[in-house]
Amino acid sequence: MTDTRRDARSAWAPGTDERVLVCDGAMGTMLHAAGVPLDRSLCELNLTRPSLVRDLHTAYLAAGARLVQTNTFDANRLRLARFGLEDSVVEINIAGARLAREAATDRDPDRAGGRGGEVVVAGSVGPAMSASLTRRTPAGERASILREQVAALSNWVDVIILETFGDTESLGQAVEVALAECDLPVIAQLTFGEDGRTLRGEEPAAVAAALAGLDLAALGANCTVGPAVLREVVAELARHCALPVSVQPNAGTPRRMGRQLRYAHNIDYFAHAATRFVAGGATIVGGCCGTTPAHIRAVADAVADLVPAPRRRPEPRDPNRAVARTTPTGHRPHQVSWPYQDRFVVLAGMRAPHGAGLAGFIDQAERLTAAGADLLAITDPGPPATRVSPVAAGVLLNERVHTDVVLQVETADRSLAALQADLLGAHALGLHLVVCRTGTPRVAGDYPDPGSAWDVDSIRLVAALAGLNDGTDWRGVSTPDTTRFVIGAALRTSARDRGHELDRAEQKVVAGAHFLVTDVIYDLADARHCLTELGARGVDVPVIATLAPFEDEITILRRTQEDPEVSAPTVLPSRTGDLDHVVRTTLDTVTELRDLVAGVLVHLPSGRDSGATLVEALRRLGSST
């Protein structure tokens, strides 16, 4: 096996071959078409369905591909941990490389459309992180993760191909790791968006300037977009760097059809695009998501008589041309933390108003602040159809009342991309304190659809916001700027399974939560037990207790008797219209919890002075302890 690998490697010298090197196409698309679910680990199939993977390699080779990529894009420790396979990194990578090698060794040139030439086996390595990960990963750990995968592949492949990286910083780190770990040629590929920039916003000229000095076999682009956008990207890379240029576009934009992704059936278009890529300077041409052996056969036919364009001296970059600012490797912003250390805080909770009630909403906020509220909180994570958006309500309070506002956000029914976009907008408009909740899907008909409700939960949202604070977005791509989110997370003190709830609380803090906010407390004994156990676990973040002394009986019953995850209190709290009684019982509850909490969030009714009276009493209690 080792001799075969060395022979194939020595037969390929990128940039000096007289022919265009044709790569294979999508592995994931073909596996999904064969019935593999979208949520299954694809690289695990190297062990459980090896004949399927090998047959796909064979199909691409028969179509004319001379470079075949191992089914190992996501075969690193961090990504495999989602499936409980983190201890199988070496086994899965070696299996993937052996399957590609077996297909290449068994290939009969006489049955491959007459296309000769040695086959190059490329070890596919993706970014250490992905959009689905639930925790931040320091640069040092990312390097270790990549090093483990490269080491597993290096004795079985001819080339290492680093693909679908979102920015030059993370790709540069991966290149350095690969070059240090093995003596194989390294192809480095970034992914570009519809604007012709990397996911971080870097132009192709900036990419060439950042990476062309590394000891690479080729530099290129793959995934995310189809040929139309990448045509100019390839030309720009070739114009600004002397390295061979590779390109593997998607077939186009996918559309979800039930439980499958569908791509355009555009084989002739894709083949014509391949000739345009070669004319623009590409040396290595293949396909990514949505492409099939039929696409690759058409590409191989289209470029069979073409030769790579002559390499030219790179054009100097225009120093006045705007490019995305990048953050130096290892740079981290000042630490963000709970800003109210060493004081008991009083948060006044307000419901987002109806459109016609904005004036009264602002007036109430001013009265609550004057009464001593340290912070205002929008208590509706997501409004019913007739209410103002919580983000809009929070921005309004921040601008008109000049006080910090806590925004509560539910992830149910939302994608992580949409949540990030909304919260970046809120951050830009001055809202920095966010409480992340998983929530429940809203029922607007006969049955809720649980299929999409759990695409992202509160832990993933906490991790995504913590990543933005560190300069990394939800996809794991470095961002040009950092945020200063103060991140909160929910704690259900009356959870039926308290151990599970405390486990999740710990995970939220590990993911980056700076403080916790309880759900509304109805059972004081349960709350004390839960908070005491939390402290015993060593979870040392401020906890805000939530009370709702003005709540109506229907809401209390709904929250205590109709939630399957809540342990209902033995005795339900009584409600009275006597304000003195409300204030007295609320102060008694806060006094009982004072040694375990750093503040209180009190839900207040709209348009009543009773809320200001309670806030004033809580402020006096907090100041006296």
Please list the residues that pair with 437 across neighbouring strands. Answer: 410
Average pLDDT over residues 337-353: 91
CB 559 within 8 A of CB 493: no
Q: What residues does CATH 3.20.20.330 cover in the chain?
A: 2-131+138-303
Question: For the whole prediction, is pTM greater than 0.85?
Answer: no
Per-residue model confidence as pLDDT tens digits over 563-612: 777 776 766 666 667 888 889 999 999 999 999 999 999 999 887 778 89
Q: 544: closest CA among 603, 488, 615?
A: 488
Q: Give the angle 463-468-471 at the CA atoms, nearest 5°.
A: 125
Sheet with 67-69, strands from edge to edge, namely 21-22, 282-285, 245-248, 218-222, 186-190, 159-165, 120-125, 67-69
Average pLDDT over residues 383-411: 86
Type of residue at 562: E
> CA-to-CA distance for 433 and 408, rounded, in angstroms?
9
pLDDT for the residue numbered 389: 85
> Residue 304: is its pLDDT beyond 60?
yes
> CA-to-CA distance for 552 and 213, rounded, in angstroms?
68
pLDDT for the residue numbered 616: 93
Per-residue model confidence as pLDDT tens digits over 556-576: 777 777 677 777 676 666 666
pLDDT for the residue numbered 521: 92
Buried b (16+ CB within 10 A) or exposed e, 339-365: ebeeebbbbbbbbbbeeebeeebbebb
> CA-to-CA distance for 423 and 428, rounded, in angstroms?
8
Classified by CATH at the fold level, domain 2-131+138-303 comes out as: TIM Barrel (3.20.20)
Arch. (CATH architecture) of 345-439+452-624 = Alpha-Beta Barrel (3.20)
Percent of the chain with pLDDT over 70: 84
Task: Provide the 3-class DSSP secondary structure of residue 390.
Answer: helix
Per-residue model confidence as pLDDT tens digits over 87-126: 999 999 999 999 999 999 886 444 333 334 589 999 999 9
Split at pLDDT 50, 70, 90, the class of 326 is very low
Give every CB contact of residue 574 below 8 A, 6+ residues apart in sequence.
none
Average pLDDT over residues 203-220: 93
In the block, residue with structure tokens 């979208």: 38
Of the two residues 375 and 201, the one the predictor is more confident about is 375
Tokens for 326, please give them: 């990048």
CB 281 within 8 A of CB 243: no
CA Rg, the chain, in Å? 29
> Residue 5: is its pLDDT beyond 70?
no
> CA-to-CA distance for 444 and 414, rounded, in angstroms?
15
In the block, residue with structure tokens 């001819």: 158
Instruction: Write the DSSP string, 348-359.
Output: EEEPPPBGGGHH
Q: Which helix (H) or strand (E) holds 519?
A: strand 515-520
> Residue 472: is its pLDDT beyond 90?
no
Please list the residues that pair with 122 across neighbouring strands. Answer: 69, 159
pLDDT for the residue numbered 315: 57
pLDDT for the residue numbered 439: 81
pLDDT for the residue numbered 520: 92
> CA-to-CA distance for 22 and 303, rounded, in angstroms?
8
pLDDT for the residue numbered 320: 43
Residue 66 Cα distances to 60, 285, 475, 478, 499, angstroms = 9, 10, 31, 33, 55
pLDDT for the residue numbered 455: 64
> Residue 319: is its pLDDT beyond 60?
no
> CA-to-CA distance for 150 and 126, rounded, in angstroms?
11
Residue 331 Cα distances to 44, 469, 482, 522, angstroms = 35, 12, 11, 45
Tokens for 262, please give them: 């569908």
In the block, residue with structure tokens 């096996």: 1
Per-residue model confidence as pLDDT tens digits over 218-242: 999 999 899 999 999 999 999 999 9
> Residue 443: is its pLDDT beyond 90?
no
Average pLDDT over residues 266-270: 92
Q: 29: closest CA among 244, 245, 332, 248?
A: 248
Please list the residues that pair with 67 across neighbouring strands. Answer: 23, 120
> CA-to-CA distance for 282 and 248, rounded, in angstroms?
10
> Residue 272: is its pLDDT beyond 80?
yes
Angle between helices 579-593 and 610-624 (to 10 degrees): 30
Tokens for 459, please give them: 């832990």
In the chain, the N- to C-terminal Cα span, in Å, equals: 74
Per-residue model confidence as pLDDT tens digits over 32-64: 888 888 778 999 999 999 999 999 999 999 999
> CA-to-CA distance for 315 and 324, rounded, in angstroms?
19
Per-residue model confidence as pLDDT tens digits over 456-470: 889 989 999 998 998
Q: Which helix (H) or strand (E) holds 269?
A: helix 267-280
pLDDT for the residue numbered 567: 76
Residue 231, CB-side half-sphere exposure with 13 Å CA sphere: 12
> Residue 401: is its pLDDT beyond 90?
yes
> CA-to-CA distance for 144 and 614, rounded, in angstroms?
54
> Residue 303: is its pLDDT beyond 60?
yes
Split at pLDDT 50, 70, 90, the class of 321 is very low
Split at pLDDT 50, 70, 90, the class of 259 is low
Buried b (16+ CB within 10 A) or exposed e, 94-105: bbbbbbbbbbbe
pLDDT for the residue numbered 130: 65
CB 102 within 8 A of CB 449: no
CB 62 within 8 A of CB 111: yes
Q: What residues does CATH 3.20.20.220 cover in the chain?
A: 345-439+452-624
> Residue 146: is its pLDDT beyond 80?
yes
CB 142 within 8 A of CB 91: no
